[in-house]
Amino acid sequence: MSELLAGLKIDHVATPRLRTAVLVDERHDGEPVVFVHGNVSSSLFWQESILALPDGFRGIAPDLRGFGESETAPVDATRGLGDFADDLYSLLDTLDIDRAHFVGWSMGGGIVMRILLERPEMVASLTLVSPVSPYGFGGTKGASGEPVTADGAGAGGGSANPDFVAALAAGDRGDDSPTSPRNMLNGAYFANEFRSPLEETFLDSMLTTKVGDDNYPGDATGSENWPGFAPGTRGVLNTMVPGVHDVSGIVGVSPKPPILWVHGSKDVIVSDASMFDLATLGRMDVVPGWPGEDACPPQPMVTQTRAVLDDYAAAGGSYREVELDCGHSAMVERPDEFQAALAQVLRG
């Protein structure tokens, strides 16, 4: 168990769905701010953000199923991110929280967008930090998220780097391999050669990821389309594929809370040329047999998010975009700018 920053503690909350570990601020009371972490991480990435909340707000950061100290449970990917969202509804109901500010990072951004889509009355404000596209991760093209193939080829559980998955399973803390968790943290989660003083804690967090077909990365099926596999029905990566994940319907919700969107200009995970999108790697000849730009272009993830948020604003909502000189984790790499923007949206 990692040592926490002063002022924080982890509670274990038994809900009707599963036992959930929750990182909370012992110092403050006030309006709840629910921080939802991303893939291959846990609530520990939110420590500094919680401690920096302005007066009148209290941070709550749960560990999702299969991450951190929460109970491990299978992820039914046929429901998209529904298992994760339903876990959060159950947790908040157990904590007697019926309305909160939501902050979601990466996959967590997709989860909080789903909460806005399903229960807009719960959302006082929404902050997205390098969120997964409203159309998921992989297998779509264009600003409107059109599927590249009927079966979502190239997305889902089969897209994970097997060496990285093996390193997670082995608890690898080294830096010899480019796909070690430590090197992924410093080379993909962050940019600008940034090294956090909490590096060991963040590595601990990554290594809590439960590996397997029911959790990370998930299963896969064969495909006649490039690169030869399609999404399965189980596990984390299959929750964000064409056909099961589409939260673009937030455009039509009512009421429409204010949205803050923070992302890094040097993000290699969520971008219009993601280094984790097999179409990008195919275009670079890293993955052989790529059928070309017309047949399988890289997913324009940032463009897709901006298009949906533009439509949200045109339909009567409001959003603010903040692009920072950083990688995938602005709240860690550029904390002052992130915390200032978050405080502004929280205060309305």
Q: Are 210 and 197 in contact (CB under 8 A)?
A: no
- Select from 126, 125, 145 the least CA-distant residue to 135: 145
User: In the beta sheet, which residues pair with residue 31?
Assistant: 57
Q: Are 213 and 222 in contact (CB under 8 A)?
A: no
DSSP structure class, residue 46: G
- Select from 99, 91, 87, 103 the least CA-distant residue to 239: 87
What is the full per-residue pLDDT of the chain (348 aa) written as tens digits? Answer: 688 999 999 999 999 999 999 999 987 789 999 999 999 999 999 999 999 999 999 999 999 999 999 999 999 999 999 999 999 999 999 999 999 999 999 999 999 999 999 999 999 999 999 999 999 999 999 999 999 999 999 999 999 999 999 999 999 999 999 999 999 999 999 999 999 999 999 999 999 999 999 999 999 999 999 999 999 999 999 999 999 999 999 999 999 999 999 999 999 999 999 999 999 999 999 999 999 999 999 999 999 999 999 999 999 999 999 999 999 999 999 999 999 999 999 999
pLDDT of residue 29: 84
pLDDT of residue 132: 98
pLDDT of residue 316: 98
Domain definitions of the chain by residue range: 8-347
Element (H, E) at 12: strand 8-14
pLDDT of residue 1: 67
- Select from 130, 111, 266 the least CA-distant residue to 188: 266
Query: Whole-angstrom Cα distance, residue 76 to residue 65?
Result: 12
pLDDT of residue 297: 98
Question: CA angle at residue 81 from 301 to 75, to 5 degrees?
Answer: 125
pLDDT of residue 27: 77
pLDDT of residue 2: 82
pLDDT of residue 195: 98
Q: Are 205 and 41 in contact (CB under 8 A)?
A: yes
User: In the beta sheet, which residues pair with residue 212?
Assistant: 217
- Lookup: tokens for 104: 């979601």
> What is the topology classification, in CATH, of domain 8-347?
Rossmann fold (3.40.50)
Q: Is 173 left (phi over 0), alpha (psi -120 to 50) or beta?
A: alpha
Half-sphere exposure of 74 (CA within 13 A, CB side): 9
Listed in sequence order, the DSSP H helices in the chain are: 47-51, 82-94, 107-118, 162-170, 181-184, 199-206, 278-283, 301-314, 330-333, 335-347
pLDDT of residue 161: 97
pLDDT of residue 265: 98
